[in-house]
Chains A and B, each alone.
Chain A
Amino acid sequence: MIWIGDVLVSRGEGGVYHERMLGGARVWDPYRSKLSALYYSGISVELTPAMRVLYLGAANGTTVSHVADYVEVVYAVEFAPRPMQDLLELCRRRRNIIPIMADAARPEQYAPLVESVDLLYQDVAQPDQAAIVLRNCVFLKPGGTVILMLKTRSVDIRREPAEVFKDTINSLTSAGLIVRDSKWLAPFHADHAGIVCIKP
């Protein structure tokens, strides 16, 4: 990862969402992007130029644009049409983002399009986030990494975030994933946790 001083940046064409530029690089704001917050929280999952990434819950493409600066190709899955409009604009400017308008919970919808990936990143506001990860693990190479951004409030508003977090970890490990790291994303994002797993 590229740090200028203590600021996380990525190198690519700027002006995607009026992000600040620093020494010609795009500043990756931890308050806007959960992945950036994860790096600021001290967890490092190195993004390398040869990497292929499946990104579930791409939204407007803010984080996607930074990930795409680092890796070879990003398959960006988003369900809602409005953010998809923005994402398409981004894709027209960048060769390495493949937009897929589909439901991340139904990988059969995009199975004919996606190849094996090195990193599975998930940031969807759904109650069954762990199940969605597991269903998409079919695209992940053995030894590949999963980053799951757990929105505990979307899983169940009535339960304690810590409890939801524990349950999610349990269902990931019982499905055979190895949880390498996990961290709450405070103060950048409240009640969000980043979970990093490895597929054996």
Chain B
Amino acid sequence: MVLYGHGLYFCVMQSYWFGDIEDGYCTKFTGDLHAVIDRIQSIFTCMDTYIPLDWEHAVLCGVCRDREEYLARIQAICIGAADRSIREQFSKKDAELLQMIRTLDEIDMVINLLSEKAVDWYLIRHPAFSRKYRRTPVHALVKTMRERSKGALGTVAAEIERMENTRTILAREVSSRANDVMPNTSALIGGLVAARLMSHAGGLLSLSRLPASAIQVLGARSALFSHLKTRSPCPKHGIIFQHRRVHNAPREVRGKVARALSCKLAIAARLDYFKGVAEPEFLETAQKRVDEAGKGSRS
């Protein structure tokens, strides 16, 4: 049995996966695979007094007969433990959101690249066509291309349209999932941008551990490192620029807005991780603070 809170006494006894060894005595741990996994996850080892495991003790303990059996046992246990940890991590709410937002951003890129190429192709077929002086949104152009082109070009255009459709559905799902997983952050900056911040940080836990200054420049990596290495000016904003409050702010206060917003986002991310529900009071003061930062141009 593991003896908690017994200070030095506990430290001297050596707890291994197969049992506890103290004064030359081994207390064998009995239990099924799950019980052993629970045990290894709950053992607290004091590294100052730790003595590395000797597999022959497991034999003396009566856990296994020989080296081969020892390795087979410990491998089965470790595979079981790792499998369980993976399942735990993947069942966290942010794990899927992370993949969803990354897929969404990738689809955006594919749509852009593909439409660009398709338009170039379409122009070859219609030498008189030009987009100058016309406000033709790309998706309208893609529609015309699909209707007026024969063969593969028409199919490509149809494919782009279908992908745009998928993108809309996915974006909606990401938004609603983000509202659920990170309600405070989403309320401040919108579900999509909140999810993007989370994805760049590598998860909700990592995001909640970031300081506000890091959140402010998340996604502006090359600008940040060129600032750190040379004397170029430091970036004012990364992903949070995508939020209207930052990119609509007048140039001279944009940095200020970004700073105020990221400060509040850092708190919001922590609330999201540790509480998981929206905090209306916090959100109200936070919104007010960010609005103030936007107004306060130098007088």
Chain A residues close to B by CB (< 8 Å): 73, 81, 84-85, 87-88, 91-92, 95-101, 107-108, 111-116, 135, 138-139, 157-158
Contacts and interface: CB of A to CB of B under 8 A. Distances in A.
B176 interface: no
A91 B225 contact: no
Interface in B108-144: none
Nearest to B17: A112
Listed residue (B86, B90, B225, B229) with the most chain A CB atoms within 10 angstroms of its CB = B86
30 contacts: A81-B85, A81-B90, A84-B85, A88-B79, A88-B82, A91-B78, A95-B75, A98-B74, A99-B75, A99-B78, A100-B81, A101-B81, A101-B82, A108-B47, A111-B45, A111-B47, A111-B53, A112-B40, A113-B16, A113-B17, A114-B52, A115-B55, A116-B53, A116-B54, A138-B50, A138-B52, A139-B52, A157-B225, A157-B229, A158-B229
B92 to A, nearest CB: 10
A87 B78 CA distance: 12
A84 B40 CA distance: 18
B16 A85 contact: no
Interface of B: 15-17, 40, 43-47, 50, 52-55, 71-72, 74-75, 77-79, 81-83, 85-86, 89-90, 225, 228-229
B45 A92 contact: no
Contact of B47 (A73, A85, A96, A138): A138
Contact of B44 (A91, A101, A108, A138): A108
Given A81-B85, A84-B86, 18 more contacts: A84-B82, A88-B79, A88-B82, A91-B79, A95-B71, A101-B81, A107-B47, A108-B45, A108-B50, A112-B15, A112-B16, A113-B16, A113-B17, A113-B53, A114-B52, A115-B55, A116-B53, A158-B225
Contacts of A111: 43, 45, 47, 50, 52-53
Nearest to A110: B40
Contacts of A99: 75, 78-79, 82
Given A111-B45, A111-B47, A91 B52 contact: no
A115 B59 CA distance: 14
A187 B109 CA distance: 33
Contacts of B228: 157-158
A18 B152 CA distance: 34
A98 B40 contact: no
Contacts of A139: 52
B85 A101 contact: yes
B2 to A, nearest CB: 10
B75 A91 contact: yes
Given A112-B40, A138-B50, A158-B228, A101 B71 contact: no
B71 A96 contact: yes
A138 B45 CA distance: 13
Contacts of B90: 81
Contacts of B74: 98, 113
Given A81-B86, A92-B79, A113 B52 contact: no
A114 B83 contact: no
A114 B53 contact: yes
B89 A81 contact: yes
Contacts of B77: 113
A199 B162 CA distance: 62
Given A81-B86, A84-B86, A88-B83, A112 B43 contact: yes
Contacts of B53: 111-116
Contacts of A96: 71
A113 B17 CA distance: 6
Listed residue (B50, B54, B90, B225) with the most chain A CB atoms within 10 angstroms of its CB = B50
A139 B53 CA distance: 9
Nearest to B75: A98
Contacts of B86: 81, 84-85, 88, 101
A114 B40 CA distance: 12
A115 B51 CA distance: 9
Given A81-B90, A115-B54, A157-B225, A97 B75 contact: yes
Instruction: List the 8 closest A-B pairs by CB distance, nearest first.
Output: A111-B45, A101-B82, A108-B45, A116-B52, A81-B86, A115-B53, A81-B89, A101-B85
A111 to B, nearest CB: 4
A113 B15 CA distance: 10
